[in-house]
Structure 1
Amino acid sequence: MNSLFPYDVMVIGAGAAGLMCAALASGRGKRVVVLDHSDQPGRKILISGGGKCNFTNRTVTPAQYLSANPHYATSALKRYGPADFLDLMKRYRIAFHEREHGQLFCDNSAADIVSMLMSECGAGGVEMVLDAKIGAVTGDGPFRAATSRGTYEAAALVVATGGLSVPKIGATGFAHTLAGRYGLAVVAPRPGLVPLTFTGADLDLMRDLAGIAIPAEVTFGKTKFREAVLFTHRGLSGPAILQISSYWLTGQSITLNLLPDLDVQARLLERKAQRPNAQVETIVGELLPARLARALVERAGLLGRPIGQSTNAALAGLARLLSQWPLVPAGSEGYRTAEVTLGGVDTAGLSSKTMAAKSHPGLFFVGEAVDVAGWLGGYNFQWAWSSGWVAGMSV
């Protein structure tokens, strides 16, 4: 295929946002071509949620998204929300279930979502060009894309190539580079929803505790999440850590509360009066896994000591460690394990009503390519559906 093929809409990226956009645009009678370097569509959909795809959340508001412009996502989320996507799934009779915190997953397989989107694209006559290495993109309506499978031309271009997270499936900074070529600013990208790493004594401790998972509350500044925390050989992971990682800033500390529902100091003083001969680690072991209890009591300098022989000041120090443990991460595990890319194409240069570049009306950016990143729990897929839908209705 070496000749020029004119289309109304060219979508680069056959992921969640790109397929949604292509389906909507073709349903409106537009001639659409989708280009992707992968040999299969929806690869990130397929691996998400343990293969079950956490495709949205019962409760979606702009408050669950991070962006330099916190209001940017409002319009798209209102125009196409979780209920709208559920209506689409019900039409295809895709069974789903709800887990904690309103997270919605497929009963069967994430492949059902991809099949549904491909069917929608097929109904509209979308041409799918896969395994196509994308080269130079030029023009300004019409736009031209040179690929390993020929050159394609369209009046409108939708960039839906995602961000830098999960490079093993081919994630690149293509969208950011292309935005720069068209004079659009890019908010510096960084990994989000990612495990945090540590060094020194903190890392030694966490390695000793690797495999322990407990419900806890993690705080950074005024932001806090209460979910599971997992100790690993590199540091900390688990839903609460992934959530806070999107807010954490390099060099600053997070606070870990291992017993958020308990006045720990009061409990220790109570046990001191009731069971003075019990060792401190035994008392703490009633509240936390034994290995974790022992390690933190040792860090507080009270290991092997009867609680009745421990000063109130020492017990207060232990209580602070258990409920206000300050930790300074050395970094994160990076894009390799990040579930989303923070930053991206600056929304100041995009229309929130159409996803089009203000300076180039035929150029659209959707999904993770844009400086909008959601919490863990289906919010990023909902942004893909919402932004793809808006662009598909606007091209």
Structure 2
Amino acid sequence: MPADPSQFDAIILGAGGAGLMCASVAGQRGRRVLVIDHADAAGKKILISGGGRCNFTNIDVAPDRYLSANPHFAKSALSRYRAQDFIDLVDRHGIAWHEKTLGQLFCDGSARQIVAMLLDECDAGGVRLALGSPIRDVAHADGGFRVMHGDRVSTAPALVIATGGPSIPKLGATGFAYDLARRFGLKVVEPRPALVPLTLPDSEALFRSLSGVSAPVIARCGKASFAEAALFTHRGLSGPAILQVSSYWRHGQPISIDFAPGAEADWLIQAKRQRPRTTLRTALGATLPDRLATALADRLPAGELGAQSDTALKQAERLIADWRFMPNGSEGFAKAEVTVGGIATDGLSSQTMEARKVPGLYAIGEAVDVTGWLGGYNFQWAWASGWAAGQAI
């Protein structure tokens, strides 16, 4: 008898990176797989990533570059499906790529190539796609799952939550994964925006005039520290260094910025000895954009360096190396690239991504409380967690 068209071995909710990876792996293992998504096209978040070129992984992937209530949870999946494994897949599909700064890998061409590759892999596994098919209800009984989507009902003994987090709602992102997880008794770590620009209060209005100015800095929040560029915006702070520390930032915490990364000790005192008639503004302007140098100098001792005491110059050095900003918020999920928090890892197997108390239920990708640094780390978690679940279902 032909297979019942409504019955599958696994139903995957979400046609993003993690969901497509999971589906392709399971499908190629002979599983009958259905992927459901309310969006009319697969991989929408992939398509806009990396400026349209998809920063698809990072050669420096390591567990300590991920945030989670359990910092050890990601180790298993990341060690079993490595960055090189995904690179090998990309190479097999003839997709040209290049390395940018800090181990980031991008397509030479378009992010569409990555989506096409994943869809080809799904096709090779006979995966069925139900796109433009909103999920209306999910039920669990008799060891199986029943999903009402669009005008259809599909069933399977395995269900994979791969619907991501609420970041970038304009692409249709929601907190659906968390609502569904709670229905099945799974805990959710409070989700908050990550890799997101931070906003500054009116008291920092001087820096609003610097909108568009960027400079290499070291940005810190707590014990986290990132040496990359910071960008001033009309609302506050952005740029890679700020996006990185935003994942660690909580309301009420200061952000510290070193505007003179790599400067030698007593560099202002040395400048005073060599060029006593130089002003602090000129000294800063040697390494910083003019507008930023002016804004910082306006808040520091004026006049020629030769007229300043060594003590005053040491104090100026300390301020420049540890300039404190007190953000009053972030630009929220609308501008966040990913989400910190999500489905709690203590209810999942790190080997298979299966829920400990609900056999057959899995959660992968951004839906889970594992969040990577900027630079391809979150995609690698999507591939690795999707692969782990795809091997298990």
Query: Structure 2 length as normaliser, TM-score?
Result: 0.96
In the alignment, does 2:219 pair up with 1:218?
yes
1:160 aligns with 2:158: no
SS in 2 for 1:20: helix
Contact conserved, 1:26 with 1:124, CA < 8 A, in 2? Answer: yes
Partners of 2:150 and 2:79 in 1: how far apart?
Answer: 39
User: Conserved in 2, the CA contact under 8 Å of 1:206 and 1:236?
Assistant: no
Q: Is the 8 A contact 1:4 1:153 kept in 2?
A: no
For 2:166, the aligned partner's letter is L
State the alpha-carbon separation in 2 of the partners of residues 301 and 347 from structure 1.
Answer: 51
- Report 1:270-285 matches (<5 A): 270-285=270-285
Equivalent residue of 1:250, what SS?
A: coil
Tell me the CA shift for residue 314 of structure 1: 3.1
- Say which of 339, 342, 356 aligns to 1:341: 339
Partner of 2:314: 316
Q: Distance in 2 between matches of 1:116 and 1:124?
A: 13
Q: Separation in 2 of the partners of 1:275 and 1:91?
A: 59
Tell me, yes or no, if structure 1 residue 102 matches structure 2 residue 100.
no
**Aligned counterparts of 1:31 and 1:267: Cα–Cα separation in 2:** 66
Q: CA-to-partner distance for each residue in 1:338-360, whole Å, 9 max, x for gaps?
A: 11100000000000111000001
Kept after mapping to 1: 8 A contact 2:207/2:295 = no
List gaps (5 residues or longer) in structure 1: none
**Residue identity opposite 2:28 in structure 1:** G
Conservation of the 8 A alpha-carbon contact between 1:191 and 1:340:
yes
Distance across 2 between alignment mates of 1:64 and 1:283: 36
The CA RMSD over aligned residues, in Å, is 1.4
Three-state SS of the structure 1 residue aligned to 2:360 is strand
Partner SS, residue 23 of structure 2: helix
Distance 1:82 1:365, change over 3 A: same
Instruction: State the SS of the aligned residue for 2:225.
Output: strand
Identity of aligned residues (%): 54
For each residue in 1:151-200, what CA deviation from the matched residue of structure 2 results, as whole angstroms up to 9, or x when unmatched? 11111101100001111100000110000000000000001111111002
Bigger Cα displacement from structure 2, 172-181 vs 123-132 = 123-132
Q: Identify which of 141, 144, 147 aligns with 1:145.
A: 147
User: Aligned to 2:282, what secondary structure does the other structure show?
Assistant: helix
**Match in the other structure for 2:234:** 233
Q: Provide the C-alpha distance between the structure 2 equivalents of 1:307 and 1:163, rounded to a whole number of angstroms.
A: 52
Matched position secondary structure for 2:50: helix
- 1-structure distance, mates of 2:128, 2:5: 14
Contact map agreement 1:185 1:345 (CA 8 A) in 2: yes
Letter in 2 for 1:169: L
Deviation by residue 1:229-254 (Cα, 9 ceiling, x = unmatched): 11111111111111111111210112
Does 127-136 or 364-373 show the bigger shift?
A: 127-136
Matched AA of 1:279: T
**Which SS does the other structure have where 2:252 is aligned?**
coil
Task: State the shift of 1:301 in Å.
Answer: 4.3
Match of 2:379 among 358, 370, 381: 381
Measure how far apart 1:283 and its partner are. 2.3
SS of the residue corresponding to residue 356 of structure 1 reads coil
In structure 1, the residue corresponding to 2:9 is in which secondary structure? strand
| Cα distance between partner residues in 1 of 2:61 and 2:216 | 24
Question: What is aligned with 2:120?
Answer: 119
1:149 CA drift (Å): 3.0
Q: CA deviation at 1:313?
A: 3.5
Q: Does 1:34 align with 2:32?
A: no
| Alpha-carbon offset, residue 4 of structure 1 | 7.6
Q: Which residue of 1 aligns with 2:349?
A: 351
1:263: Cα distance to partner?
Answer: 3.2
TM-superposed CA distance for 1:57, in Å, is: 0.7
The CA deviation string for residues 125-167 of structure 1, in whole angstroms up to 9 with x for no partner, is 1111010111111114310111223111111101100001111
* 1:281-307 Cα distance to aligned partner (Å, 9 max, x none): 1222223222111111111242xx222
Runs of 4+ displaced beyond 4 Å: none
Note the 1:1-395 alignment, pairs <5 A.
5-140=6-141, 141-202=143-204, 204-263=205-264, 266-302=266-302, 305-395=303-393
Would the aligned equivalents of 2:9 and 2:156 in 1 still touch at CA under 8 Å?
A: yes
Partners of 1:137 and 1:4 in 2: how far apart?
18
What secondary structure sits across from 1:128 in the alignment? strand
Task: State the distance in 1 between where 2:91 and 2:212 align.
Answer: 39
**Superposed displacement of residue 272, structure 1:** 2.4
Partner SS for 1:361: coil
1:96-116 CA-partner distances (Å, limit 9, x unpaired): 111111111111111111111
Q: Is the 8 A contact 1:4 1:150 kept in 2?
A: no
